A = this chain, B = another copy of it.
Amino acid sequence: MDRLRVTVWNENIHERREESVRRIYPDGMHAPIVEGLRRELGERVTVRVATLEEPEHGLTDHVLAETDVLTWWGHAAHDRVSDDVVAHVHARVLDGIGLVVLHSGHKSKIFMRLMGTTCDLRWRSDPGGERELIWTVSPSHPIAAGVPQPIVIPHQEMYGEFFDIPPPDELVFISSFAGGEVFRGGCGFHRGAGRIFYFGPADQEFPVYHQPEIQRVIANAVAWCGGATPANDQPSTRQANAQRDWFLAE
């Protein structure tokens, strides 16, 4: 099997502007994500990085044509992502590439466009964060493979219900927070010929992407989203008419 070509997209703003974030992610938040993908998936993937500041945000025709799965982290600058790039990514997802949306990416243009809803949620951020427990509710799902029950994140920002997304096609994880809230933080969606996975952790203020279990989930999600097969159908008038002739001639 050919290697899965993964593009890790990162807004890459907090890491450069804020000392508190730089201390946790000195090489950018994409660095531990890339590291986790390489450790978990090894020879099965090739990984490249793209960021907001690059021309076309690093998501040129060429890059998207060579991408099987795209991961997306953004927060401070959703509005600065160009509508053209969003339209291009949207078309590519419906055409079959995978998309893994992370944490605050729930308010990215691409996720809201694919979901069709506001993607708003309940939110609270305290300086020290609070404990998040991530429970698997679909224990045989490939994205839950090899993770403990539950995953414990010692310090994390609270994301809670109601989370305004369509009912997920595959609900894999539900989190609880120390404050008592719950969150559907691991949700799979099928759209067109593509697969999308939303994963709630983690915030720029906490070292969550350095946790091996979290890296494992992201790697599993990349593998799952990349597992869509070439579609055996394209909606097409011409085809329908052609086939009909054949049916009738039979």
Contacts and interface: CB of A to CB of B under 8 A. Distances in A.
Interface of A: 94, 96, 113-118, 120-124, 131, 133, 135-142, 144-150, 152, 154, 158, 160-164, 166-167, 169, 171, 174-182, 184, 189-195, 227-237, 239-241, 243-244, 247-248, 250
A177 B176 CA distance: 9
A94 B118 contact: yes
Nearest to A220: B229
Given A135-B182, A236-B122, A144 B192 contact: no
Contact of A163 (B124, B140, B235): B235
Q: Which of A184, A235, A241 has the most CB of B within 10 A?
A: A235
B137 A163 contact: yes
Contacts of A231: 139-140, 162
A99 to B, nearest CB: 12
State how many copies of this chain the complex holds: 4
Contact of A145 (B174, B192, B232, B237): B232
Given A138-B167, A145-B232, A176-B182, 7 more contacts: A124-B244, A133-B182, A139-B231, A140-B190, A140-B228, A144-B232, A160-B240
Nearest to A179: B244
A218 B108 CA distance: 36
A239 B147 CA distance: 16
B166 A191 contact: yes
Contacts of A120: 235
Contact of A131 (B124, B146, B180, B244): B180
Contacts of A141: 190, 229
B192 A117 contact: yes
8 contacts: A118-B192, A123-B235, A124-B240, A133-B247, A140-B194, A179-B247, A179-B248, A180-B244
Contacts of A232: 136, 139, 144-149
Given A229-B145, A232-B144, A232-B147, A138 B190 contact: yes
